[in-house]
Structure 1
Amino acid sequence: MTNKKTYASLDSGRGINYWRHAPPLRAEARRVYPDHEFEWATPRLESFGELVGDVIADNADTIDEHGPILHTYDEYGDVRNEVEYHPAQKENERLVYESGIVADAFGPPADRDEPVGLIHTLTMQLLLSYVDTGLVCPVSMTAGAALVLRNHDSDDSLDDYFSALTSRSYDSLAEGAMFLTEEQGGSDVGANETIAEPVDSDSSPGDSRTYELTGEKWFCSNIDAEGTLALARRPDAPSGTRGLSLFLVPHETRDGRLNDQRYRRLKDKLGTISVPTGEVEFHGAEAYLVGEPERGFKYMATMLNWERITNAVGAVGIMGRCLVESKVKAATREAFGEAIQEYPLMRRDLFEMAVDFDAALTFAMEAGKWLDRYERDHDDRDAYRLMRVLAPVAKYRTARMAVETASYAMEIQGGNGYVRDFVTHRLYRDAQVLPIWEGTSNILSLDLLRTFEKEAAHEVLFAHVESLLSGIDHPVLDELSSLVADECDSLKDAFATLVTADDEYAQYEAKVLAEYVFDVVTASLLLSNAQREVDDAGDARSVIVAKHFIESAFGTSDARGILDGEALALEYFDTVVYYDRLDPASVTARWT
């Protein structure tokens, strides 16, 4: 267990076990994993947290200074398409993939009869995001590409690629990617201009699943992946998204030939240096049809839902590292003769940062739980609808929270936070891509409206919130639960208003609705967590977390609370920031 003295003994937030230093993460993993899988996963997450905080963290700093280099042509001017990586990048990739971060969810580990759920991959990605969000990108896309093939490769024609994407050996691994964006389309995927021409095979003229792609993709992360998914339009296919088919485009063809594409250049990005992102031109590139023609956008939605939730847990990982670095600095930096964590404003800042971490963590893991449940049982339509409503909201809100948290973590470091030598500089640069990857906040908010309109996701969402609130009976939580129940009723009214409003007004209010969904669901989850922690562990830390979040989100006060004389951050600083146990009887006496 970590405490205040632990942080006072550290020079920085590295060389530590991030799993061990995040009690809220351990509690959330216990909540969302099936019991038997959590017992199996715990020692592995402990080991991975140690590995990430040590070797992988050190390598990540090196990689940020020595990022990938693209060699488009060889010395004779022929296309080479080679990305040169620093040895530290190769070491990190080997360590991460051979830890089972992808493989364990698609094939049984050596000591199990069955694979574990995707929630395990998400939890490991969250830990990896403490040190390198850029590396999380190819890991996530490798798992996502494998998921698409598992779900949609109906004739098993791509089994060789599925096996390579899920390999336990780094030497035989194929990484995945998703080339979705085109310059003229951006978020308008239906404007896709890449063309797919069928290639007749000798054995099956007119019935080949091999195509040649011509066109270009504008924002291609993990550019040299061997298992890239891309959308293209076959001849005479309808316009818009309904005419798109999904293809797997390899770096090298099955006969070992460099594919007919050109990696034009790498983007000079602000952050996520470890993942090479560039522009790709297809010049009759060999590609293999995934599933049925003209169902590509639906298939790609499987990847997008997965990527949005991994984006959310990545945001939480950055927030967690920012919190660790901030606590170390606050415990070790003296000003005017005292550690700065002893000053009321710094206590308030760290307290609020810790509550934000708990809130973002809880919502992201909840979204991951329902995706995991749906992927275990595709007949569970309620799990699907909950996943669909939570995924875009999780990605939208946690991304913005990570940017704000990283910005303030830089400030806590003082001038050093703005200097490249210190990790908060990189955390902020990496966090800034999160609101952009996998759909901007506007796109995500409009997607939320679609889940309500087309999938009636509001029905299962409101039922879920009400179910969470029905289990609250602790006297300190009772009033908070009533407040959240009232807000849930107001959210229903807001939804009903937008359902009957014209499209322009509904779109205008879509982001407000998404934020409202986040606040109501997060509040109900935090209350449920608090009730369980009191009942099972005899600890009321989560009561304070829930109280602060709910009163900040929904409470009304005169003069912005200045008149009420309450200072939770001063009274419960060690409880929330350093995880000191809090006797439930003390909070009962305090507020009832």
Structure 2
Amino acid sequence: MAFFQDPPRLANAYLSDPLLREHLARALSGTLPEAEPELEHLGELAAGRLFAQQAAERHLEPRLEPFDAWGRRVDRVELTPLWREAAALAARHGLVAAAYERRHGGASRVHQLALVYVLEPSLDVYACPLAMTDGAARTLLDAGNAALVARALPRLTSRDPARMWTSGQWMTERTGGSDVSGTETVARRDGEAWRLHGTKWFSSATTAEMALALARPDGAPAGSRGLALFYLETRDEDGSTNGVLVNRLKEKLGTRKLPTAELTLDGALALPVSGLADGVRAVAPMLTVTRTWNSVVAAAGMQRALALARDYARRRAAFGAPLARKPLHADTLAGLEAEREGAFLLAFRAAALLGRAECGEASDAERLALRAVTPLAKLTTGKQAVAVASEALECFGGAGYVEDTGLPRLLRDAQVLPIWEGTTNVLALDVLRALAGEGTAEALAAEIRRHLGDAREPSLRPAIEAARGALERARAWLAETGGPAREAGARRLALTLGRALELALLISHAQWCLDRGRGPRALAAARRLARHGVDLLAAEEPGPEELALLAGTAADGADS
């Protein structure tokens, strides 16, 4: 009889994830019974019908129709069936709305993003427009523009699929990504409104009903301070485009179900969100939200990759036994699980701090810590997501490299996570700026120490010392390092602090699990994460000559 390898299968994405269930038992406590039936339902949907539909639509991609049959410019993007279903699911289950309804008080962000975490790996990156929609709602609320809030917020946070809007975030131009100071889009007054003219190089919410865009009002000074944040709706009441032309859809390494476009704004009618300057500051709440989503999506992608790899290890026999019983393979999976658990807890700590701040429940120290934790969570989990996806694919051998299995998508889609919403280096510099703010470094240190202080289990002592040592090394480095060396080491500093906080959170969670008879899994994960390394500042700092030589920027001998 011929041999055919069984493909990996998924179990209920909520019930099969003990870390998620443990964390929600802690974070939601008395309100979890209300939330759990929906999470179980979505977990079954994600692992069952949606996962099968995702596989069936493996070859489908969005398609741009710039003109109708009679030559009229329509710029319609045809979405995949799963994306159309994702839009309805997102509305009905409140993947944006839950954060603003606040049924769980300060823990509402945790509840909202738990729903996202369970569903997103089966929704072909629909989290992207949802994150920007959530960020737009937060930005409009924080800006205090009553007319725009009244107009847009009920739609952005609606649970009615026919009424809910998504929003774009149109910042990036040909002049650069995170450096928006060279923005070329101009805004010209037209009565009480404005008209936008320019090109947006990346738009990942091309089909959104509205967008927030940076533009420079006529006569405004150069640089980022001369930019204003504008609100625009992408189509007029009759459905015609509001001066928004779709030049083309991007050909990307991954996230290929997501219609990312180059746009021309050809007199798009828009309104200022908050004055005619300081638009970068006005959009900051958007970035806090989208970076938190990015972290949670990174953790969700790691869990999906590992769930498939673990199931395959039980089904795949080699050299006389299932892979799951091979010590080296089991060791590999254990290492990936430790990284995944640390990333999950860091992402959801960022979500918890955001939710508490939004509801007025955060302490002064928590509000300060949030400023550093958000970029730390995004950059740390983004790098982990790529590494875990790569290793998980290797667990499948050649099958992990074959498109028909659907597995390569896990790695391609993960690769965007360190790039979206600020690259690792951009966010590392943001961490430096945050830590320079009054009280922020102290608040972050207190956050790490508080979680370490929860532990009493003696076998956690080496992990506690690893996290504490990394924190103290980072604090000493900050105090002693300046000039170019400070910028050159920003990534190592940020990853050290991010991993130290992950380890502290995992140690605290391990103690909670032990205290409640939930087993030693989290303890083992904490010990393993500590062994992987936390302190990236331990090595000798490279000098400027070494940096120039290795980076190929030395004045002499660069090509040798």
Partners of 1:186 and 1:49 lie apart in 2 by 36
| Identical pairs, percent | 32
Q: Which residue of 1 aligns with 2:511?
A: 531
Change over 3 Å in CA distance of 1:277–1:228 after alignment to 2: same
2:38 is aligned with 1:55: no
Q: Quote how far apart the aligned CAs of 1:158 are.
A: 4.0
Q: Quote how far apart the aligned CAs of 1:149 are.
A: 1.6
Deviation >6 Å, runs of 4+: 113-116
Q: How does 1:237-252 map to 2 (within 5 A)?
A: 237-252=220-235
Counterpart of 1:266 (choices 245, 249, 261) is 249
2:413 is aligned with 1:451: no
Letter in 2 for 1:215: G
Q: Quote how far apart the aligned CAs of 1:340 are.
A: 1.4
Q: Which residue of 2 aligns with 1:146?
A: 137
Partners of 1:258 and 1:70 lie apart in 2 by 14
2:497 is aligned with 1:517: yes
Aligned partners of 2:165 and 2:210 also within 8 Å = yes
Q: Secondary structure at the match of 2:197?
A: strand
Letter in 2 for 1:23: P
The farther-off stretch of 245-254 and 422-431 is 245-254
Q: Which residue of 1 aligns with 2:282?
A: 299
**Deviation string, structure 1 residues 394-421 (Cα, Å, up to 9, x no partner):** 1112112111111122211121111111
Partners of 1:349 and 1:241 lie apart in 2 by 46
Q: Quote how far apart the aligned CAs of 1:219 are.
A: 0.6
Letter in 1 for 2:492: V
Letter in 2 for 1:128: L
Partners of 2:398 and 2:326 lie apart in 1 by 19
Change over 3 Å in CA distance of 1:198–1:117 after alignment to 2: farther
**Deviation string, structure 1 residues 187-211 (Cα, Å, up to 9, x no partner):** 21111111111221xxxxxxx2x21
Q: Which residue of 2 aligns with 1:545?
A: 525
Q: Secondary structure at the match of 1:117?
A: helix
Partners of 1:413 and 1:90 lie apart in 2 by 31
Q: Secondary structure at the match of 1:274?
A: coil
Change over 3 Å in CA distance of 1:135–1:551 after alignment to 2: same
**Deviation string, structure 1 residues 288-323 (Cα, Å, up to 9, x no partner):** 221333132112111111111111111111110111
Q: Secondary structure at the match of 1:184?
A: coil
Letter in 1 for 2:150: D
The farther-off stretch of 406-415 and 479-488 is 479-488
Partners of 2:438 and 2:236 lie apart in 1 by 39
Q: Name the count of aligned residue pairs.
A: 532
Partners of 1:116 and 1:408 lie apart in 2 by 33
Partners of 1:115 and 1:487 lie apart in 2 by 30
The farther-off stretch of 252-261 and 210-219 is 252-261
Change over 3 Å in CA distance of 1:372–1:89 after alignment to 2: same
Q: Quote how far apart the aligned CAs of 1:507 are.
A: 0.8
2:102 is aligned with 1:102: no
Aligned partners of 2:467 and 2:501 also within 8 Å = no
Q: Which residue of 2 aligns with 1:324?
A: 307
Change over 3 Å in CA distance of 1:136–1:63 after alignment to 2: farther
Partners of 1:65 and 1:30 lie apart in 2 by 39
2:21 is aligned with 1:26: yes
**Deviation string, structure 1 residues 443-486 (Cα, Å, up to 9, x no partner):** 01111101011354211011112222223222222354244323
The farther-off stretch of 484-493 and 191-200 is 484-493
Q: How does 1:211-360 map to 2 (within 5 A)?
A: 211-254=194-237, 256-360=239-343
Partners of 1:252 and 1:193 lie apart in 2 by 23
Question: Normalized against structure 1, the TM-score is what?
Answer: 0.85
Structure 2 gap segments, 5+ residues each? 537-560
Partners of 1:479 and 1:113 lie apart in 2 by 36
Aligned partners of 2:470 and 2:497 also within 8 Å = no
Q: Quote how far apart the aligned CAs of 1:360 are.
A: 0.9
Partners of 1:483 and 1:407 lie apart in 2 by 26
Q: Quote how far apart the aligned CAs of 1:95 are.
A: 2.1
Partners of 1:364 and 1:477 lie apart in 2 by 22
Change over 3 Å in CA distance of 1:292–1:255 after alignment to 2: farther
Partners of 1:83 and 1:237 lie apart in 2 by 34
Q: Secondary structure at the match of 2:516?
A: helix
Counterpart of 1:396 (choices 359, 379, 386) is 379
Partners of 1:128 and 1:113 lie apart in 2 by 20
Partners of 1:367 and 1:100 lie apart in 2 by 20
The farther-off stretch of 182-191 and 92-101 is 92-101
Q: Which residue of 1 aligns with 2:29?
A: 35
Q: Secondary structure at the match of 1:258?
A: coil
Change over 3 Å in CA distance of 1:342–1:142 after alignment to 2: same
Aligned partners of 2:353 and 2:367 also within 8 Å = yes
Q: Secondary structure at the match of 1:177?
A: strand
Letter in 1 for 2:78: E
Counterpart of 1:460 (choices 434, 438, 443) is 443
Q: Quote how far apart the aligned CAs of 1:11 are.
A: 4.3
Change over 3 Å in CA distance of 1:280–1:429 after alignment to 2: same
Q: Which residue of 2 aligns with 1:478?
A: 461
Q: Secondary structure at the match of 2:263?
A: strand
Letter in 2 for 1:132: L
Structure 1 gap segments, 5+ residues each? 1-8, 201-207, 557-592
Letter in 2 for 1:513: L
**Deviation string, structure 1 residues 77-117 (Cα, Å, up to 9, x no partner):** 33211111233321232123211211222237xxx697972
Q: Quote how far apart the aligned CAs of 1:63 are.
A: 4.0
Q: Which residue of 2 aligns with 1:589?
A: none
Q: Secondary structure at the match of 1:156?
A: helix
Q: Secondary structure at the match of 1:65?
A: coil
